[in-house]
Amino acid sequence: MQNDHFQPHDHARCISTALDAAERFCAAQGLRLTPVRKRTLEILLSEHRALGAYDILAKLDADGFGSQPPVAYRALDFLTANGFAHKVEALNAYVACTHPGAEHAPAFLICRSCGVVEEAEAAPDKGPLARAAREAGFAIERAVVEAQGTCPACRSAHP
Amino acid sequence: MQNDHFQPHDHARCISTALDAAERFCAAQGLRLTPVRKRTLEILLSEHRALGAYDILAKLDADGFGSQPPVAYRALDFLTANGFAHKVEALNAYVACTHPGAEHAPAFLICRSCGVVEEAEAAPDKGPLARAAREAGFAIERAVVEAQGTCPACRSAHP
DNA sequence: ACATAAATGATATAACATTACACATCAACC
DNA sequence: GGTTGATGTGTAATGTTATATCATTTATGT
C-alpha cells in the first residue's frame, strides 16, 4: 500500500495533491471544475471518511450554494464519473479518491470504529471472483469490493 | 461453480432444496421460521433476481401479512442474519441464498441485462483485497464483493 | 397458569435519491 | 459582437429505501 490513512499523516498534502491532480486532469480533458464541484471535492477531501450526500449538501448550502438535493448529487455525479470520488455502496456515502485521474478499479477498507475509508486496488482480473466469473462465462464490467472491519489504530486503542 | 443460474435449470428444485435446508437449519438451531419469514424466503427464491424490500412488502401485503415496511424488513433481517438471504449492496435489494445453512462469505455476479444474481464464494482470506488488508494491519470482518456485468446467456442473445 | 422473551401490528419519521422545468452561463460559430 | 446550442445551476416536488418507537400478541420454559 503506497499510503495509509489509518495512521497520522500530512493531510494538508493529501488535499492539495488530489485537488491539484483534479485541476490538471480537468484542464487536460476540457472538463469544467466549477465552484460547486470543486467545493464538493474539497469537502470530501477534508476527511478520509465517507460522507452522505446530505452531509455534503448541508455544507454546500452553508457556503451559499443551493440547498436542494440535486445540488449535491450533480456534483457527486461529476466527481464520480471522472474518478475524483467514489461511492461506497455499503454505506450509501461518498469518499474522495486518493489516486485520481487514471481509470482504476477501487476497493475499500472501511473501519467500523473510526469510519476511515482506505482505498486499495481491486485488480478485477485476479482473485477468486475473477475465477468464478471466467468459469461462468460472465463478463465483469464493474466490481464493488468493500471490506468492513477494524483498522490497526482502532484495534490498538480499544483492545 | 457448482451451479449456474444464468442457464436454464430445474428451478423448482432450487426452491425446494433451499426451503428444506432453511427448515432443517431452523429446527436444529431452535430458530422460528414463522409464516411471514417463510413466505418472504419463498418470494426471494421464486427468482434468481434481487428484489427490493418494497417489492417483497407488496407481495406480503397481497398475501395478508401487513403492509408496513417493518413487516418486510424484519423478515429480511431474520433471513440475512441466518444466512438464508443476502443483501446486494449495489442494488439495495435482497436475494435468496443458494447454499444456505453454513456461515459463508458471499460474492455476487450480477447481470445488468437480465438481473440474475449468481452467488459465488468470496474467499475473504485470498485475493488482492486480503493482501492489502494484511499489509495495512486491517482486520476484515465482512466483505461486500459484487461484480456487475453481462452473463453468457444475455451476451449470446444480444451480440 | 404464570412469567419471560420473542415476534408482530401500527404509526411516524428519517435517510437516500430522482424527475422536471425554468433560468443562467459558456463556447463556438457566423 | 450577437445568435445559437450545449452544459450547468436553482428550486420544487416526489420517489425510494430504511429505522425508531410503542402497544399488543404469541410462544416458551417453569
- The CATH number given to whatever domain includes residue A118 is 1.10.10.10
pLDDT score recorded for residue A101? 67
Residues of chain B contacting A134 with CB distance shorter than 8 Å: none
The Cα angle at residue B100 between residues B99 and B106, in degrees rounded to 5: 65
* Cβ neighbours for B7, distance < 8 A, ≥ 6 positions apart: B152, B153
Residue B72 is assigned to a structural domain of this protein: yes
A87 φ/ψ angles, rounded to the nearest 5 degrees: -90, 135
Provide mean pLDDT across the span A66-80: 98
Residue A4 is assigned to a structural domain of this protein: no
pLDDT tier for residue B157 given thresholds of 50, 70 and 90: confident
DSSP E strand boundaries for chain A: 85-88, 93-96, 106-111, 117-121, 139-150
- Confidence check: pLDDT of A102 > 70: no
Condensed to tens digits (0 to 9), the pLDDT of residues B113-134 reads 999 999 998 877 777 788 889 9
Taken in order A136, A122, A37, A95, the sign of the CA dihedral is: positive
- Confidence check: pLDDT of A123 > 90: no
Residue B41 is assigned to a structural domain of this protein: yes
Look at residues B44, B25, B24 and name the one whose alpha carbon lies nearest to residue B82: B25
Please give the nucleotide, over all strands, whose C1' is closest to the CA of residue A36.
D9
Taken in order A79, A123, B110, B75, the sign of the CA dihedral is: negative
Query: From the Cβ of B11, is strand C under 7 Å away?
Result: no
Sort strands A139-150 and A106-111 into parallel, antiparallel or unpaired: parallel
Domain limits for position A40: 11-157
pLDDT tier for residue B99 given thresholds of 50, 70 and 90: confident
Q: Tell me which chain A residue has its CA closest to the CA of residue B154.
A: A138
Number of domains observed in the structure of chain B: 1
Q: Tell me which chain B residue has its CA closest to the CA of residue A126.
A: B127
Residue B51 is assigned to a structural domain of this protein: yes
Residue A6 is assigned to a structural domain of this protein: no
Condensed to tens digits (0 to 9), the pLDDT of residues B81-94 reads 999 999 999 999 99
